[in-house]
Amino acid sequence: MSRLAIKLPGLSMKNPIMPASGCFGFGREFARYYDLSRLGAIAIKATTEESRFGNPTPRVAETPGGMLNAIGLQNPGLKKVLSEELPFLADYDVPILANIAGTKTEDYVKVAEDVSKAPNVTALELNISCPNVKEGGISFGTDPEIAAALTRAVKDVSEVPVYVKLSPNVSDITKIAVAVEEAGADGLSMINTLLGMRIDLKSEKPVIANRTGGLSGPAIKPVAIRMIYEVSQRVSIPIIGMGGITSADDVLEYFLAGASAVAVGTANFVNPFICPEIVDELEQKLIDKKVDHISELIGRSWKSCYSPSLSH
């Protein structure tokens, strides 16, 4: 078996690298630049029941070492995703992690039920954290009980394994993680964006029309690493790590922290070829480090130490 191949619930991946949801559309644009079959998996853009236009523009703003976005879950809606986007991706030999969103439990259930039946969707990613949508997300992701209830409802209808994507905007992320694990989650995705804002000095108003946005990019990496380090010691389901990954070294750091696969988001905007480049670089790094298989690295930063009584 290749050094890089990773098998997680629903995701049999050639390598542990996937583009993060919302940063890769439904793959069409990138398919023009490289063969999508080179990816470990693809997390597609959040799908909601109805098509959504999203928020007014400006929707992005730059910050030191990062960016804010408030796209507002723009997507063509469940029907079109099933009839157009997923069939397009079926031409590639790559498992699809379908990110689903909604504002009510029933929305999630409906989308989960239908999307999980698509032949190339091998796992769902439950977006309980998207901070951008009015009335949306936030409460699902910040309360362990609500998060668990949603997980259970989706697990009940899904025909494929379910990953819950956690929000970092919480006092204690381990509580949410443990709650959704108990509710049947097959894996976790960590982390979604941090809530942030920038104010324009000329207009004296928030740069982003929606005012607040989600902070992503290298700036948030230390927060993600810390959360994965903590959560991976408390749960036994695998974690897809993300937040500011731009290099194979970053991937190694995520594995050492406790991730079993990673997603690359914002970096795709800076370099559209970043995912396959990281795959190649990663293989070489493992050869240089004499690591036979990348799974050996999972959680190594804490596995060899004393037991997990974390001090802050």
Ligand X SMILES: Cc1cc2nc3c(=O)[nH]c(=O)nc-3n(C[C@H](O)[C@H](O)[C@H](O)COP(=O)(O)O)c2cc1C
CA nearest to 245, candidates 227, 228, 224, 229:
224
Question: What's the min distance (Å) between Cβ of 23 and ligand X?
Answer: 5
CA gap 132, 115 in Å, rounded: 23
Residue 306 interacts with a second copy (CB under 8 A): yes or no:
no
Residues 6+ apart with CB under 8 A from 18: 39, 40, 41, 42, 43, 97, 240, 261, 262, 263, 264, 275
- 228-287 binders of a second copy (CB under 8 A): 229, 244, 249, 252-253, 256-257
In Å, the largest CA–CA distance within the chain is: 57
Tell which one of 10, 16, 40, 66 touches other proteins (CB under 8 A).
66
Residue 294 interacts with a second copy (CB under 8 A): yes or no:
no
- 177-196 binders of a second copy (CB under 8 A): 194-196
Question: What's the min distance (Å) between Cβ of 126 and a second copy?
Answer: 18
* Residue 291 Ramachandran class (φ > 0 left, ψ -120 to 50 alpha, else beta): beta
- Site size for other proteins (CB under 8 A): 38
Tell which one of 4, 6, 23, 128 touches other proteins (CB under 8 A).
23
Residue 305 interacts with a second copy (CB under 8 A): yes or no:
yes
Task: Fill in the per-residue mask, 148 to 187: x = in contact with ligand X (CB under 6 A), - = not in contact.
Answer: -----------------x----------------------
Q: Are strands 187-190 and 96-100 parallel, antiparallel or unpaired?
A: unpaired
CA nearest to 78, candidates 104, 110, 56, 105:
110
Residue (17 or 245) nearer to ligand X, CB: 245
Residue (13 or 61) nearer to a second copy, CB: 61
Show the tokens assigned to 302: 């804490």
Tell which one of 126, 221, 265, 276 touches a second copy (CB under 8 A).
221
Residue 99 interacts with ligand X (CB under 6 A): yes or no:
yes
- 211-270 binders of other proteins (CB under 8 A): 217-218, 246, 266, 268-270
Residues known to be catalytic: 130
φ/ψ (deg, to 5) at 107: -60, -50
Residue 272 interacts with other proteins (CB under 8 A): yes or no:
yes
* Options 2-10, 181-189, 215-223, 276-284: segment touching a second copy (CB under 8 A): 215-223
Binding site for a second copy (CB under 8 A): 63-66, 68, 131-132, 134-135, 137-139, 142, 169-172, 194-199, 201, 204-206, 210-212, 215, 217-223, 225-226, 229, 244, 249, 252-253, 256-257, 297, 300-301, 304-305, 310-312
